[in-house]
């Protein structure tokens, strides 16, 4: 995707994602808030902290947080996030981190998620069951009841770079602190 896509992502889309990551709503994403994403996904999928897939996900999320935290103060403000978010950041650090969350949910390692796996993963990210179901339906373009890793990541990429995606329903829900 060309870099120009970064410029088309609206502040509203960035604010929606930022709000999902700023769990306590204090205007900054802390390292612990950000890494808790991995813990919530692991717990939702019944994986322990010692699981190698969880360990890999935690390392990938550490890299994203370090990339987002421009002033290295341990907090990412909306301004830092706004400057950071886009195609290059997605390819550089988000793709591996978001792929690692997919891997946590993909218990059989076949590169595909069932509706139930996808819904549990998305609910761990504060989506409602209805929004997760709608996002699944929108991404499951061949209606086979499975989402592959590439389609999942493409859906997120499109949203974080343009603010529009077949997975947009997953970003309707505001998190509850």
Per-residue HEC secondary structure of the chain comes to CCCHHHHHCCHHHHHHHHHHHCCCCCCEEEHHHHHHHHHHHHHHCCCCCCCHHHHHHHHHHHHHHHHHCCCCCCEEEHHHHHHHCCHHHHHHHHHHHHHHHHHHHCCCCCCEEEHHHHHHHHHCCCCCHHHHHHHHHHHCCCCCCEEEHHHHHHHHHHHHHHCCCCCHHHHCCCCCC
Q: Count of alpha carbons within 13 Å of 8, Cβ hemisphere only? A: 14
Task: Output the six-digit token pair for 138.
Answer: 């929108």
What share of the chain in percent tops pLDDT 90?
Answer: 54
Give pLDDT tens digits for 104-127. 999 999 999 999 999 999 999 888
pLDDT of residue 169 exceeding 90, the answer is no
Which one has a higher pLDDT value, 42 or 10? 42
Q: In this model, does residue 89 exceed pLDDT 80?
A: yes
Q: Give residue for tokens 């205007």.
A: 27
Q: How much is the mean pLDDT over the chain?
A: 86
Q: Answer with the residue of higher pLDDT: 168 or 84.
A: 84
pLDDT band at 60 (very low <50, low <70, confident <90, very high): very high
């Amino acid at each position: 995707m060309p870099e120009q896509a970064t410029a088309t992502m609206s502040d509203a889309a960035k604010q929606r994602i930022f709000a999902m990551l700023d769990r306590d709503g204090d205007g900054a994403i802390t390292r612990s808030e950000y890494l808790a994403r991995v813990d919530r996904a692991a717990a939702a999928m019944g994986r322990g902290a010692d699981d190698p897939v969880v360990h890999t996900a935690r390392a990938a999320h550490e890299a994203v947080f370090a990339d987002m935290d421009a002033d290295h103060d341990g907090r990412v403000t909306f301004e830092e996030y706004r400057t950071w978010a886009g195609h290059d950041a997605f390819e550089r650090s988000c793709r591996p981190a978001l792929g690692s969350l997919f891997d946590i949910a993909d218990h059989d390692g076949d590169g595909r998620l069932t509706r139930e796996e996808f819904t549990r993963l998305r609910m761990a990210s504060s989506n409602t069951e209805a929004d997760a179901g709608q996002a699944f339906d929108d991404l499951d373009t061949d209606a086979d009841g499975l989402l592959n890793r590439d389609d999942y990541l493409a859906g997120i990429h499109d949203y974080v770079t343009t603010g529009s995606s077949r997975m947009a329903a997953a970003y309707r829900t505001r998190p509850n602190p």
